[in-house]
Structure 1
């Protein structure tokens, strides 16, 4: 006696397979839609994601899954592939919330909507002013930044033979990521200065000046000039004075490190004895009084050709330039109240 297994008809098989396929498709579609529109949680869970250069999307998706801000790394990769966003991911620092759905996460990564803090250092600002800005913006502690600016090991590493990085922080806007500390920002700003200053080498050789000398004088010009067009003229005044051994007598140098220059100084300020006060020291001060931009450095290396030795501020933001002390005194009497003395 033989045992016979029941036979499944071809017709029933043909009926079952389409239904199975449809059922699997619906299950997959449901899984896809649930994960697409249902976030993991609320905005209380935020993950700081850093996408380095050359990072792969699969690794980023796995990291977000491990951090608990998405439900499935496979789903995120699938959505990214279908939308063509997996190859558009940009480097940077991002804050990813568990309240975000995959489409929001992908758009943020693809558009480079980083959450790094932006910091802008204006031309001419000193390290003290930079520290104050960083402190007010809640980026870094004032004292910690100033400590990094004068850190001996960092100065050696950056090739700066001075007591601080004053003068070598290039003015501009910087992205401060999650993992950047005070020393990291200082390093990035100095590297930006080095990169920008490379183009000045031919002019340095022609002028017979060192980059240190240029930076010192440019930092003074930056504090004196209101109009960019006058920077070459102001540079000519100071260079003419240096050539004949005449004191620079620049007001901003008298108060460096003591207070912010606001356009006027007191008699007591001018009598302050420091290595920066050009009313007290001959020639250039011991170091820069701020961080100059490219225009001020360019003005030092390519000054206007004049025989001016004096300038006094008008009331419209420009200066009157004079060749003789008599002309200068006339300008002082005309433009300055109470005959206050200016260069």
Structure 2
């Protein structure tokens, strides 16, 4: 019976594996340590913006330079091992050095941005937008209004007016912590351009320029309660403009003074203002709010009517009239004494 003994080569092979195993174990421990332990204690905070098309490599290098993670290489390795290397979503992220690489990667993979949401309802003016932004703690009211009146910015956005009123498209926007007032105005105007691009041929056929269309649409938006009535209200304004009759739109009488709540007083309609269509003929010099698409479409496609008047019923809808006599009967029926509503 032969007994095999370990020769020198066999022993060398056995001992050769021990350094490899030790190194592998050390690497595993190092990986687990970096995976579990954050780079700091949370005192370092960094706002990371991930733009469209950004790769994980550049993001990892940026976070390593800002000492949010210990190693760009390790962050990429963790991402590869966890299958998150291609899951990063665009957005603004507020990260701290107390977060582990896994937490950072998962936050970006889920798209849990730290941008704040801002919603501008249809018809709201830039003054109301400024108040909403200040109330949400995003921007100061006055600073946003300064951006809306920035002549250099308005020129770059091709707005032929002293402010961006009317061109701040209603909707919901994500305001990142790197976004300033000018950037938000720019984004809202660009959204307006994008959403109205298909309507430009109709604008050319309307007999109005775009600024006039938006101005008239802002009045329709303020007057209407329902989308269904917008073409009817637009038809009244079109009919009045055609014969040179004052538009007498209540919201124009108080633009820039207070928020339109559906009711104006006699002193309101008698106030001297370049926007008050009780005192001026034709359109005001610019929009009195920021209309939505339906209001703009109603100006470009008004109903075919011979209405020249409308008055609000108690339920918010309107009675439309052809003659002043019919209109006065509606006023007596629906309006309280001492107040005037269009």
State the TM-score, normalizing by the size of structure 1.
0.93
Distance 1:330 1:44 in 2: 70
CA offsets 1:154-212 (integer angstroms, 9 cap, x no match): 22222122111111111112222232221111111112112222111221233222111
Q: Which secondary structure state, in structure 1, belongs to the residue aligned with residue 212 of structure 2?
A: helix
The residue that corresponds to 1:19 in the other structure is 18
Alignment coverage as a number of residue pairs:
336
Q: CA RMSD in A?
A: 1.6
TM-superposed CA distance for 1:339, in Å, is 6.5
8 A contact 2:263–2:340 mirrored in 1: no
- Who is 1:267 aligned against? 266
In the alignment, the residues of structure 1 paired with residue 147 and residue 124 of structure 2 have an alpha-carbon distance, to the nearest angstrom, of 17
Matched, 1:202 2:238: no
Question: Deviations 1:89-114 (Å, cap 9, x if unpaired)?
Answer: 22221111222222211111222221
Rounded to whole Å, the distance in 2 between the matches of 1:40 and 1:187 is 37
Q: Distance in 2 between matches of 1:219 and 1:44?
A: 48
Offset, 1:146: 1.0
Q: Distance in 1 between matches of 2:51 and 2:123?
A: 33
Provide the residue aligned with 2:75 in structure 1: 76
Q: How far apart are the structure 2 equivalents of 1:13 and 1:205? A: 89
Contact 1:332 1:340 in 2 (8 A): no
Once the two structures are TM-superposed, the CA of residue 239 in structure 1 deviates from its matched residue by 0.9
- List alignment gaps of at least 5 residues for structure 1: 1-7
Identify the residue that residue 170 of structure 1 maps to in structure 2.
169
8 Å CA contact 1:144, 1:182 repeated in 2: yes
For normalisation by structure 2, the TM-score amounts to 0.94
**Aligned counterparts of 2:265 and 2:42: Cα–Cα separation in 1:** 54
Determine if contact 2:264/2:339 at 8 Å carries over to the other structure.
Answer: no
Asked whether the equivalents of residues 170 and 190 of structure 1 are also in contact (C-alpha less than 8 Å), the reply is: yes
1:250-309, Cα deviation, whole Å (9 max, x unpaired): 110000011111111111111101110000001111111011111100000001111111
Alignment partner, residue 49 of structure 2: 50
Question: 1:138 is matched with which residue?
Answer: 137
Residue 341 (structure 1) shift? 3.1
CA–CA distance in 1 between the matches of 2:46 and 2:181? 22
The alignment partner of 1:337 has SS state of: coil
Secondary structure, counterpart of 2:138 in structure 1: coil
**Cα offset for 1:24?**
1.8
Q: 2-side partners of 1:43 and 1:340: how far apart?
A: 59
**Secondary structure at the counterpart of residue 338 of structure 1:** coil
- State the secondary structure of the residue aligned to 1:49: strand
CA distance in 1, matches of 2:286, 2:54: 43
Ranges of 4+ aligned residues in structure 1 off by more than 6 Å: none
